[in-house]
Structure 1
Amino acid sequence: MAVIWEHKWKILLGVALAITAIIWLLLRSYPAGSLADDAMAGEWSDVKDENGAIRFIAEGEPLGHVMYYPGGLVRPESYSYLASQLAEAGVETWVIPMPLNLAVLGISRGEQALGLIGGSPVVIGGHSLGGAMAARFAKDHEDQLDGVFFHGAYPDEGGRLDGTSLSVLSIQMEEDRVLNSESYEEGLGYMPDAFFEEWIEGGNHASFGDYGPQRGDGEATISHEEAVEQIVDLTVDWLESLQ
Structure 2
Amino acid sequence: MSSSKPRRARRVIARIALVLAGLVVAGVVGILIWSQVGVMAAEPAPLAAVEAEPGIVLTDEGAGIVLAPADGESTTGLVFIPGAKVEPAAYAAKLAGLVDAGITVVITRPTLNLAFFDLRPLDAFTGLAPDVETWMVGGHSLGGVRACQLAGDADALVLFASYCATDLSASGLPVLSLAGSEDGLSTPAKIATARDLLPADAELVELAGASHASFGDYGPQAGDGSPTISDAEMTAELTARIEAFAETLRR
- TM-score, with length taken from structure 2: 0.80
Deviates more, 1:184-193 or 1:212-221: 184-193
* Distance apart, 1:211 and its partner CA: 0.2
The structure having more radius of gyration, on CA atoms, is 2
Kept in 1: contact 2:95–2:239 (CA 8 A): no
Q: 1:133 aligns with which of 146, 152, 166?
A: 146
Q: 2:131 aligned with 1:118, yes or no? A: yes
C-alpha distance in 1 between matches for 2:219 and 2:156: 29
Counterpart in the other structure of 1:47 = 58
Counterpart in the other structure of 2:176 = 169
Counterpart in the other structure of 2:96 = 84
Counterpart in the other structure of 2:226 = 219
- What do residues 187-210 of structure 1 show as CA deviations (whole Å, max 9, x unaligned)? 211101111111111110000000
Deviates more, 1:172-181 or 1:43-52: 43-52
Q: 1:101 aligns with which of 113, 132, 152?
A: 113
Identity of aligned residues (%): 29
C-alpha distance in 2 between matches for 1:89 and 1:181: 28
Counterpart in the other structure of 2:78 = 66
The runs of 5 or more residues in structure 2 that have no matched partner are 1-25
Kept in 1: contact 2:95–2:238 (CA 8 A): no
* Distance apart, 1:26 and its partner CA: 8.2
* Distance apart, 1:184 and its partner CA: 2.3
* Distance apart, 1:50 and its partner CA: 2.7
Q: 2:185 aligned with 1:178, yes or no? A: yes
Q: 2:237 aligns with which of 230, 233, 242?
A: 230
Secondary structure (helix, strand or coil) at the match of 1:193 reads: coil
* Distance apart, 1:165 and its partner CA: 2.2
Kept in 2: contact 1:125–1:134 (CA 8 A): yes
Q: 2:207 aligned with 1:196, yes or no? A: no
The runs of 5 or more residues in structure 1 that have no matched partner are 1-15
* Distance apart, 1:125 and its partner CA: 0.4
Kept in 2: contact 1:121–1:239 (CA 8 A): no
Counterpart in the other structure of 1:147 = 156
Deviates more, 1:81-90 or 1:147-156: 81-90
Deviates more, 1:66-75 or 1:112-121: 112-121
Kept in 1: contact 2:77–2:136 (CA 8 A): yes
Kept in 2: contact 1:62–1:90 (CA 8 A): yes
Residue identity opposite 1:106 in structure 2:
D
Counterpart in the other structure of 2:13 = none
- TM-score, with length taken from structure 1: 0.82
